[in-house]
Amino acid sequence: MEAGGRRWGAALLPLVLLLPLLLLLLPPPVLRAGSALPPGLLEELRQRRRDLRRLAAGGAEAEGGLRCGDVRREAGGAVLGSGFTKVVVRAALAGGGAVALKSVHGAGREVRRCEQRYGEPAGCRRLAAYKLLKEVMLLRRLRHPGIVQLHGQCYDGGGEPEAGVTAVLELGAPLEMIQLLQTPWEERFKICLGLVELLFYLAHSPLGSIVLLDFQPRQFVMVDGNLKVTDMDDASTEEPSCEEDNDCTLDFPTKSFPLQCSSAGKCKGINEKRNLFNAYRYFFTYLLPHSAPPTLQPFLSDILNATGNLQYGINETLRAFEKVLHLYKSGLYLQKRPLLLKDYISLRGFRTEEAEAYKCWPSYSHLGCLLSVHSPEEAAAICSSQPKCQSFIITQQRTWTGRPLASFQSSPTDLIPDTTAVVYIKRSASLGRRL
């Protein structure tokens, strides 16, 4: 990999400066490049610099963060992922801990296409680096749990330090949609809620309403079960100018939405709406509905309908998600169910052997049937609905909503004394063997 040839460590000139300042001080590319670049490439470079300056104005705060010497590529430099423009590798921090290093992908589609067109490797690399610099600036100015954290950035030495920019990011795991589809509903709901909270923040961000123009699952990573956006170079705060409503059509492959041209001559709200519909088509439709608690289904259908036709804005969407969360956490969604706990004997001070767990889906553990419940009553309802279930315990483990995990077991086995535990055993199950 081309990035492997860089010199990391003490030999490297650690150029950690005021980034926005650095950009403003740099002479325009035509002077620094020495030889004249093709006019087309120069124009593209100019445009990206303009974009960068706009972001740099207003945020010239001091640089904290890391030096290139503080991060060390791990042997082999495991590639975590790559896209058209950037490549991300895993690295270790000198003080311990792992991070992700993002740099220009020299063999990526963006740089290659530029080289084919202009035949200028250095200029093309710089063009791609400007995208990463833009992303770094956005990450510095936007802070949210739904945005990957920037620890710092450093620059490879040489005549054009900014072309050798590397962003040091918190380490995530690329999003695996197939895997997510197999996780419990509560975890999928968390991802969707996290996305909605992110879009709410972006709609009301300090930089204005931000749209993610390249909005796809591969622009996100998971960090500790939380969804975070990592690819921000295609983010924009611009909303198109317009003269009439016809200028403000929001187009998607399957659908288009006519929006209004505001009195100020802007397609106001188009950024927020584009994000929301993308969230609907790439995330909500896959992750939200299936295997949700039946009483929550109508609320989720409403959310899908109202985001799928853009009837809701992001504020209403967030409110609707928070309502579902409240119903779920409070157990209100369990209303009016037959009470089944009476069919179980509870034995305080015991737990059961874990080996007797049977498998169910979607379980929090591959080894058994471990499900999130609101109460022993809900666990009893689950146990009664599963033919294999003979007993269950409520564990000390909690999910992100604070609900306990219950472990369901098939054949009754030995009881193990445990002062903190309670075992619930089906009355119809034979007790003779165990006691």
Ligand X SMILES: *[C@@H]1O[C@H](CO)[C@@H](O)[C@H](O)[C@H]1NC(C)=O
200-239 binders of ligand X (CB under 6 A) = 204
Residue from 51, 156, 214, 233 carrying the catalytic annotation: 214
Residue with token string 């004249």: 36
**Judged by CB, which is closer to ligand ADP: 233, or 239?**
233
Residue selected from 148, 259, 340, 369 as contacting ligand ADP according to rule CB under 6 A: 148
Q: Are 45 and 130 in contact (CB under 8 A)?
A: yes
Of 326-385, binders to ligand ADP (CB under 6 A) are none
b/e per residue 310-342 (b: at least 16 CB within 10 A)? bebbbeebbebbeebeebbeeeebbeeeeebbe
Q: Which helix (H) or strand (E) holds 116?
A: helix 109-118
Query: Min. distance of Cβ 298 from ligand ADP in angstroms?
Result: 35
Q: Which does 313 bind (CB under 5 to 8 A by kind): Mg ion, ligand ADP, ligand X, none?
A: ligand X
Instruction: Measure Cα distances from 343 to 63, 380, 386, 411, 427 in Å.
Output: 63, 8, 14, 17, 6
Please say which residue, 79 or 94, places its beta carbon nearer to Mg ion.
Answer: 79
Of residues 171 and 261, the one with the C-beta less far from ligand X:
261
Q: 137 near 60, Cβ under 8 Å?
A: no
Shortest Å, Cβ 424 to ligand X: 39
**83 lies in the binding site for Mg ion (CB under 5 A):** yes
Instruction: State the residue number with the nearest CB to ligand ADP.
Output: 83
3-class DSSP state of 386: coil
Q: What angle do helix axes 297-308 and 314-330 make, rounded to 10 degrees?
A: 170
Q: Is 348 in the site for ligand X (CB under 6 A)?
A: no
| Among positions 29, 83, 164, 184, the unique one binding ligand ADP when judged by CB under 6 A | 83
Question: Which DSSP letter does residue 182 get?
Answer: T
Q: Among the candidate windows 5-13, 76-84, 252-260, 310-318, which touches ligand ADP by CB under 6 A?
A: 76-84
| Nearest residue (CB) to ligand X, 165 versus 270 | 270
Q: Would you give the end-to-end CA distance of the chain in angstroms?
A: 64
The answer to whether the beta carbons of residues 334 and 374 sit under 8 Å apart is: yes
Q: Is 172 in the site for ligand ADP (CB under 6 A)?
A: yes
Q: Which does 84 bind (CB under 5 to 8 A by kind): ligand ADP, Mg ion, ligand X, none?
A: ligand ADP
Least separation in angstroms between residue 107's CB and Mg ion is: 15
166 or 219: CB nearest Mg ion: 219
How many residues touch ligand X under the rule CB under 6 A: the total is 4
Q: How many of the other CB atoms lie within 10 Å of CB of 388?
A: 14
231 lies in the site for ligand ADP, by CB under 6 A:
yes
- 272-311 binders of ligand X (CB under 6 A): 305
Work out whether 172 is an interface residue with Mg ion (CB under 5 A): no
- Shortest CB 88 distance to Mg ion, Å: 9
Q: Is 214 part of the annotated catalytic residue set?
A: yes
Contact between 111 and 89 (Cβ < 8 Å): no
204 binds, among ligand ADP, Mg ion, ligand X, none (CB under 5 to 8 A by kind): ligand X
Tell me how far apart the alpha carbons of residues 201 and 193 are, in angstroms, rounded to a whole number. 12
- Indicate the helix (H) or strand (E) that contains 370: strand 369-372
Count of residues binding ligand ADP (CB under 6 A)? 23
The CA distance from 154 to 71, in Å, is: 10
CB atoms within 10 A of CB 411: 12
Residue 365 tokens read as: 């553990």
Q: Which bin fits 310, alpha (ψ -120 to 50), beta or left (φ > 0)?
A: left
* Length of the chain counted residue by residue: 435
Cα–Cα distances (Å) from 57 to 21, 162, 198, 351, in that order, read: 9, 18, 24, 62
315 interface partner picked from ligand ADP, Mg ion, ligand X, none, CB below 5 to 8 A per type: ligand X
Binding positions for Mg ion, 207-266, rule CB under 5 A: 219, 231
Q: Residue 45's binding partner, choosing from Mg ion, ligand X, ligand ADP, none, with beta-carbon cut-off 5 to 8 A by kind? A: none
**What does 100 bind: ligand ADP, Mg ion, ligand X, none (CB cut-off 5 to 8 Å by kind)?**
ligand ADP
Enter the tokens of residue 280.
């609907």
With CB under 6 A as the contact rule, the residue among 153, 230, 275, 278 that binds ligand ADP is 230
Least CB distance to ligand ADP at residue 236 (A): 14
Residues that bind ligand X (CB under 6 A): 204, 305, 313, 315
What does the binding site for ligand ADP look like in residue numbers (CB under 6 A)? 80-86, 88, 100, 102, 105, 148, 169-172, 174, 218-219, 221, 230-231, 233
Residues recognised as catalytic: 214
